[in-house]
Amino acid sequence: SITPGELLCLGSSLAFSGLFYYLYRRKARVVARIQEAPKLQVDDNLPALVSAAEGRCLPYVALEGIVLPAQAALTSHYHEGLQGVIQKLLLKEHRLIWNSLARSW
């Protein structure tokens, strides 16, 4: 006979397996979209292409081209001759809402 504890363990195991399979499939779809991303060259046509896109945004594209550093390129301590740059990120808040309970925006 099966005890209630065994049923609980079996049910929780199936629930976790289903959850992890769902998360795996979701991430696999994202990876597939990234791998199928169109490759664009960084040139004078890129701003026109972005402004012509829907919402002025190109989701999942791979940009190929030469990148120039703003100040100095970073050099690797582990691989001689390997250089890189840091991408400048900009975070823009679109809307602020006053939270009267926390008394903050």
The domains of the chain are located at 4-84
Q: How far apart are CA 2 and CA 87, in angstroms?
A: 58
Residues with Cβ within 8 Å of 61's Cβ and at least 6 positions away in sequence, in order, are 37, 38, 39, 40
Query: What is the pLDDT at residue 20?
Result: 98
Q: Does position 86 have pLDDT exceeding 80, yes or no?
A: no
3-state SS, residue 74 = strand
Is the CA virtual torsion 68, 72, 76, 79 positive or negative? positive
Mean pLDDT of 5-33: 95
* Whole-number percent of the chain with pLDDT over 90: 28
Mean pLDDT for all residues in the chain? 86
The pLDDT-based confidence of 12 (bands split at 50, 70, 90) is very high
Q: Name the more confident of 48 and 98.
A: 48
